[in-house]
Structure 1
């Protein structure tokens, strides 16, 4: 079975909330704010083990996330040196025998803003989130995209652009999901930055999403 490069996403500097969220939820070597980060998602998922092996043997990057599912596999590596992370990316692309341009282009599936969230709804969201709590009266931005790995780009750029709270990020599975909260104007700015970041990624068009 041929390996498909679904996500190839370089982050120049992990923002404080995203870096801390990864450190809280990941099982690997944890990143700190400001480090460069690379996210690679492939299909089939089991092949991500060999991708990790190739990157770690060729560079000094450290992995925070490795998710192995039957369909898709996800890897995150990071380092203070951007060049080292980019070198790991080049090694991965060579191992897969693909170019960066063969990655899939992110597709925005959901874009919602709920303004003035009610207290009971904040309780439901906070019970299942792993990041910051959303408070009653704040605005909530929800984004879904595929491939899932690109949601970290949306989260990182949103945090650069606005004073928001990172409530939850899910960068693996059939699609990625991002929850942000904050004042209305800040959420509007964050939403624009997140969607703009996804729109700026070049690559091959993904297959049409079918909700089964």
Structure 2
């Protein structure tokens, strides 16, 4: 039986988030303004059925497909929102599940650190996947499960304020987001990220 862990639709990829995706993908690269869907399921190998259904149903391009020990995750995107939505519906139909059956995400951590220390910034920068964290800025960190829902938080945070996207971890046991900027901007971005996660409806895991 397939478990639908994440179904996350993004209507318009923001510049930094789109750039992050393109830098860290091995498939077809998305660009700013495209619509995208992220689907995470268990067992992992069934993600191949998701890719097959989505790519055959509409003109969408897969950015990445990852098969982990327990979970599988697929991202696909298009300039046409309707194509992305139709491909998502086809994927759910192939899996024999419904949109409402996805897991409702939980926030494990949501914190703001004011005026980050120089050495703290350096240890974060060593492992970051996006932009550099500058010492003295405020830092917002978020952790959610299932992991793929972090994409909603990252994209909505960037929509809401002038922030720097420092790191995003989309797959694994948890999803993680690091962003930085001025105090007022980081506070607005944090609120937008938390709201994006809180607005997702689904079943309890």
- Aligned partner of 1:79 in structure 2 is 78
SS in 1 for 2:165: strand
- Aligned partner of 2:98 in structure 1 is 99
Distance 2:65 2:139 in 1: 29
Runs of 4+ more than 2 Å apart: none
SS in 2 for 1:143: strand
* Alpha-carbon distance, 1:49 to partner: 1.3
- Aligned partner of 2:59 in structure 1 is 60
* Alpha-carbon distance, 1:142 to partner: 0.6
- Aligned partner of 1:203 in structure 2 is 202
- Aligned partner of 2:163 in structure 1 is 164
CA root-mean-square deviation: 0.6
Distance 1:136 1:174 in 2: 29
- Aligned partner of 2:42 in structure 1 is 43
* Alpha-carbon distance, 1:28 to partner: 0.6
Aligned pairs (5 A) from 1:163-202 = 163-202=162-201
Distance 1:54 1:89 in 2: 9
**Please, which runs of 5 or more residues in structure 2 have no aligned partner?**
none
Q: Give the TM-score of the pair, scaled to structure 2.
A: 0.99
- Aligned partner of 2:139 in structure 1 is 140
- Aligned partner of 1:26 in structure 2 is 25
Distance 1:99 1:53 in 2: 18
* Alpha-carbon distance, 1:105 to partner: 0.5
Q: Give the TM-score of the pair, scaled to structure 1.
A: 0.95
- Aligned partner of 1:126 in structure 2 is 125
Equivalent pairs counted in the alignment come to: 205
Distance 1:169 1:65 in 2: 15
Distance 2:49 2:72 in 1: 11
Distance 1:168 1:45 in 2: 24
